[in-house]
Amino acid sequence: MIILLQYTQMCEIVVNEANFVRKCISAESCQDDLWGKLVCTNFKVSFITHNSLPRQRFQCTHRLLGEHDIPLACVEQVVTVNDVKGKQKILGSNQKLKFNPTELILYCKDFRIIRFRFDEAGPESAKKVCLAIAHYSHPADPQLLFGFEYVGKRYHGSTGERVNGVDPGGGMQTTLFDCSSDWDREIKRTGASEWRVCTINQGYFISPSLPEFFVVPVSLADQDLKQYACFFYSQRIPLWCWNHSSGSALVRMSNISDLQQQRKVEQRISSAITKSHPLRSDVFKSDLDKNLPNIQDIQAALLKLRQICVIDPFEESEEKWLSSLEMINDPLYSVCVCTEKEDRDLSCVISCLVQLMCDPHCRSLHGFQGLIQKEWVMAGHRFLDRCNHLKKNDKEESPVFLLFLDCVWQLWNQYPAAFEFTEVYLTVLGDSMWVPIFSTFLFNCPRQRAENSRDFASSKSIHLGQDQALRFPPVWDWSQQFSLKDQTLFNNPLYVGKIATCVQNGTVKTFTHRRSKKNYSSTLRGLPSALRNGSLGPNDTLARRNSLVLRLRSDLSQVREQQETPSERFIRDFFSRPVDLQGLLLPQLLPSHLSVWKLYFLRWVPEAQIPQGGPITAFHKLSVLTDEIDMLQNQLRQYKGAGGTPNNLHAEHSKMYFKATSTPHQPPAPPEYLSSSFPFSPVGNLCRPGILGSPLSKFLNGAKIWLSTETLANETI
């Protein structure tokens, strides 16, 4: 009854199910396997069991997905196996299955591999549920995605009123950039006085993939923009992204398709951008198509990473595993005016990274969400195609947004106190791509969202009223997925914002963060004078063995003799100063400074978890400490206001997930199961041979990953 009620509330339809199914917890059958019912709905694959697994005390609870649920959009591949006949088949939409499956393997886009056994299930029901999963995970049309059914029935009644009083996105602080006033505020925030909001694309009259409102130079008239639009790919005329306090602007644009008009149009556009700068500085351009990998290269890199971290057994030598990892480690950091053929993929990555490194507002939670909304959602990144929600064209699939989140994590990992959000937030944001009920990651552009929502509303007789389109909730309304308690995991206790409070001599004071005079640890500083990734400068100090340093001395002497360029001098000077968390942040690009985003890529590997160890335990202790400091500050404020010791202090709502104190008469809490997969539960989500003693095992336990196995055996650190 509870399950059916949940389906009704979620507008889910049960498509098929099979009883007496066993979910495998380990690579081989064991007594810890779970028994239950395997259900396929129009939204997810769900395993319903009465058994229970050890649960983390602080584990997140997703409001739309249970512990054993997989969104259909997250299913990458459906594989059926028959042990007796030795057959295996990859299932797609509307395919037939000639044998009765004894096992089902689901390969997921979030690196999970999940196995179900049908030893006790009826053969026909097993076959039907496998075919249903394969079919519903390959929808033929965007309107068959569950998001349309969810929004149509959850938020709109027959007369267009809001159902249950819910206004999707209501009360959010994140700027959506779907109206001219949002762009006006951004112009004022960045001081871009020589730029204006343009409205010529209202109704998507000029370009089908651009938003209805965007920003252009003041000196460019609407009539000129209409005239130039036809010369650009997909009519995507230059878009303003951001202004630096110096007056420099960041602009992105597609390539000019008409080669005969290229020189004339480029001169006119460049002249207008130059006029927007106080010093009339020249325009610097960077062709991303020439300087960066294409979308196929990015997809191939993700597949290699999946093979290294998930699918293939870790039986290779350590040097081979690490060299394979280095082959896919191409950091994409640049500061430039971006040009790309259609300005919809890597230009999104670069423009966002520039703003993250230069603008502290973009490193706040709502600033970061507004940045994604502006540079990805409204600018027309092809989320529908790149996420391959419809499984129509594998050549269009590419994890461009995941690459961006990985780059953000690398920067976050080097400057954790500069970001208001945590690693958990970035991981959850990456997962949200596979819960396609949010407009953020569901469409290729705003126009596609508007057209499909109108068509769907018409087919379902949904009265839209003044909206003229279904109001899909943006992913930034996190209450759709997590409780307020779970959302506190997004708060970074290390964050140093522009303004903070402190108690000094019993008085509450505010202070603005200033540059510290103390030198920071070498783990955060010390990028060599040579700017090229992987090269070493004379002052480099890496935690490597002496034997390896001796081998590199000849390379060091060559670096010393090289002439230092202005950009290299700037980098050297930048890293010689203490870091300013409210100023420019430059990433360190040496291989020793880059690391694997373990919480995202390795969280579903049970053998790769570190119980009671690693950065998660550190985060736990730091959260408790921060919460205790905040509690003491509140008590001091109350003490000063009351003129004495405060009485009847009630425990306030904790800003952190871990409370410093517990209330009296509190029932015994379940034990803490903290591991490097926190706040996710990896148990039973991935089945594979053990990796004890493998290179990955050594890496996760702190071994120096660049050393060979022979060196590890013969030398001491």
Amino acid in position 330? D
As a whole number of angstroms, the distance between CA 451 and CA 355 comes to: 31
pLDDT confidence bin for 5, thresholds 50/70/90: very low
Any binding-site annotation on 294? yes
- Please state the rounded mean pLDDT for residues 6-30: 77
Count of structural domains within the chain: 1
Determine which helix (DSSP H) or strand (DSSP E) holds 35, and give its type and residue range: strand 34-41
What distances in angstroms separate CA 29 from CA 33, 38, 119, 487, 691, one per listed residue? Answer: 7, 18, 11, 37, 18
- Please state the rounded mean pLDDT for residues 293-301: 93
Any binding-site annotation on 201? no
Is position 126 within any domain?
Answer: yes
Please give the full DSSP string across 166-182, using - where no structure is assigned: --TTTT--S----SHHH
pLDDT confidence bin for 547, thresholds 50/70/90: very low
Q: In this structure, what token pair is assigned to residue 330?
A: 């191409």
Is position 73 within any domain?
Answer: yes
Is position 681 within any domain?
Answer: no
Per-residue pLDDT at 603 exceeds 80:
yes
Q: What is the pLDDT of residues 549-590, one digit of tens each?
A: 333 344 444 544 567 777 778 888 888 888 889 999 999 888
Q: Which stretches within 536-671 are classed as H helix?
A: 546-551, 553-561, 566-576, 598-601, 615-642
CA-nearest of 252, 232, 243 to 337 is 252
CA-nearest of 231, 223, 214, 230 to 266 is 231
Please give the full DSSP string across 110-141, using - where no structure is assigned: TS-EEEEE-SSS-HHHHHHHHHHHHHHTS-SS
- Please state the rounded mean pLDDT for residues 452-474: 82
Q: In this structure, what token pair is assigned to residue 393?
A: 């064209």
Q: How many CB atoms lie within 10 A of CB 31?
A: 6
Q: How many CB atoms lie within 10 A of CB 310?
A: 19
Is position 8 within any domain?
Answer: yes
- Please state the rounded mean pLDDT for residues 311-316: 48
- What is the residue whose two structure tokens read 């896919």? 328
What distances in angstroms separate CA 703 from CA 219, 320, 443, 578, 610, one per listed residue? Answer: 58, 16, 43, 29, 14
Is position 30 within any domain?
Answer: yes
As a whole number of angstroms, the distance between CA 494 and CA 472 comes to: 34
Name the region of 693 (left: φ>0; alpha: ψ -120 to 50; beta: rest).
Answer: left
Cis omega (within 30 of 0) on the bond before 679?
A: yes
The answer to whether 538 touches 500, Cβ cutoff 8 Å, is no
Amino acid in position 695? P
Q: In this structure, what token pair is assigned to residue 55?
A: 């649960």
Local structure of residue 356 (DSSP, 8 states): H
Q: What is the pLDDT of residues 354-391, one digit of tens each?
A: 999 999 999 999 999 999 999 999 999 999 999 999 98
Cβ-Cβ contacts under 8 Å for 257 (sequence gap 6 or more)? 231, 232, 233
What distances in angstroms separate CA 591 from CA 70, 597, 711, 713, one per listed residue? Answer: 35, 14, 19, 23
Q: Which CATH number covers residue 128?
A: 2.30.29.30
Q: In this structure, what token pair is assigned to residue 585?
A: 């942040």
pTM value is 0.83
Determine which helix (DSSP H) or strand (DSSP E) holds 427, and give its type and residue range: helix 423-431
pLDDT at 565: 79
Whole-number percent of the chain with pLDDT over 70: 71
pLDDT at 515: 37
Per-residue pLDDT at 198 exceeds 80:
yes
Task: Give me the numbers of helices (H) and strands (E) for the chain, helices first please.
Answer: 23, 16
Q: In this structure, what token pair is assigned to residue 152?
A: 């149509």
Per-residue pLDDT at 309 exceeds 70:
yes
Instruction: Give the gyration radius of the chain's Cα atoms.
Output: 27
pLDDT at 327: 52
- Please state the rounded mean pLDDT for residues 465-472: 74
Is position 582 within any domain?
Answer: no
As a whole number of angstroms, the distance between CA 292 and CA 646 comes to: 61
Give 21's strand partners. Answer: 36
56-70, 102-116, 615-629: which is most confident: 102-116
Q: Give pairs for 558-567: CB < 8 Å, separation 24+.
A: 559/528, 559/529, 559/530, 559/535, 562/530, 564/529, 565/531, 567/531
Sign of the alpha-carbon torsion through 686, 690, 694, 697? positive
Is position 134 within any domain?
Answer: yes
As a whole number of angstroms, the distance between CA 234 and CA 223 comes to: 18
Q: In this structure, what token pair is assigned to residue 374?
A: 């502006």
As a whole number of angstroms, the distance between CA 429 and CA 372 comes to: 11
The answer to whether 440 touches 474, Cβ cutoff 8 Å, is yes
Per-residue pLDDT at 169 exceeds 80:
no
What is the 3 state secondary structure string of 664-707?
CCCCCCCCCCCCCCCCCCCCCCECCCCCCCCHHHHHHCCCCCCC
- Please state the rounded mean pLDDT for residues 474-482: 93
- Please state the rounded mean pLDDT for residues 184-191: 96
Determine which helix (DSSP H) or strand (DSSP E) holds 195, and give its type and residue range: strand 195-198
Q: 134-148, 208-222, 581-595, 663-677: lowest mean pLDDT where? A: 663-677
pLDDT at 572: 84
Rounded to 5 degrees, φ, ψ at 284 are -105, 130
As a whole number of angstroms, the distance between CA 699 and CA 309 comes to: 12
Sequence length of the chain is 717
- What is the residue whose two structure tokens read 């569901």? 442
CA-nearest of 401, 406, 408, 400 to 353 is 408
- Domain of 122 in residue numbering reads as 1-140
Is position 70 within any domain?
Answer: yes
